[in-house]
Copies of this chain bind each other. A is one copy, B any other.
Amino acid sequence: MTEETTGLRELKKQRTRQTLSETAIALFLERGFDQVSVAEVAAAAEVSKPTLFRYFPAKEDLVLDRIADHQGEAARVVRGRAPGESPLAALRAHFHARLDARDPVTGLCDVPAVLAFRDMVYSTPSLQGRLMRYAAEDERALAEALAETGADEAAARLAAAQIIAVHHVLARDNWQRLASGPVTAAVLDAAHAGAELAYELLGAGLAARGL
């Protein structure tokens, strides 16, 4: 899946990249995103500052790299849906499944490290901003996938925007639920109920347009 041009150099690059991201996140979690300078991160990772920026175009990307693998997930789900299944049904089923798996993207993951990570992201405006821009790309990709199903292109864009927006609300709700304590059966039920409500709201209108 990933590029594999030449052996040794590429390996070292991957390693430096990972080291940078990991030491950065560790420092950020320890003392706060804004309280740690990139110079410190570079020093801790034993790399010069320009090198750091060759790997990550901005400080925020040191953090969000970890999330980047989920890029375009919604679009993939739509494209990989079972024959005969509507895009929305596929997305709903997928979301419920991720919920059961306590996938961090759903917000429903009480592993301390993940929780601390989310706290940091939600409490740091610049990280939120960057995250929204990732979301915009997600939305664009989803709109494309929906349009491929033969739906009206305008409708596809509108639907994609609604779906992505709703997912964020759900994730945030779930994250808030975890403020009170760990994932219990009741919390899981509430999360599923929230998702059902969301897809119910989405569904009625979108179903009429074949989505």
- Residues on the B chain within 8 Å of A205, using CB: 200-206
Q: How large is the interface on A (under 10, 10 to 19, 20 to 34, 35 or more residues)?
A: 20 to 34
Contact A154 B173 (CB under 8 A): yes
Residues of A with Cβ closer than 8 Å to B? Answer: 125, 128-130, 132-133, 152, 154-155, 157-159, 161-162, 164-166, 168-170, 173, 194, 197-198, 200-209
Copies in the complex: 2
* Identity of the chain B residue whose Cβ is nearest the Cβ of A143 in the assembled complex: B169
- Residues on the B chain within 8 Å of A133, using CB: 125, 128-129, 132
* Identity of the chain B residue whose Cβ is nearest the Cβ of A173 in the assembled complex: B154
CB distance from A164 to the nearest CB of B (A): 7
The A interface is mostly helix, strand or loop, or mixed, namely helix
- Residues on the B chain within 8 Å of A168, using CB: 161
17 contacts across the A-B interface (CB closer than 8 A) = A128-B133, A129-B129, A132-B132, A152-B197, A154-B197, A155-B201, A157-B169, A158-B198, A159-B201, A161-B165, A161-B166, A161-B169, A162-B166, A162-B201, A162-B202, A201-B209, A203-B205
Contact B154 A158 (CB under 8 A): no
**Bound CA–CA A28/B201 (angstroms):** 42
**Bound CA–CA A159/B157 (angstroms):** 17
Contact A158 B164 (CB under 8 A): no
Task: Tell which of A162, A197, A202 has the most Cβ of chain B within 10 Å.
Answer: A162
Additional pairs, 10, CB under 8 Å, beyond known A158-B197, A203-B205? A125-B133, A132-B132, A157-B169, A158-B169, A161-B165, A162-B165, A164-B165, A200-B208, A201-B205, A201-B206
- Residues on the B chain within 8 Å of A161, using CB: 162, 165-166, 168-169
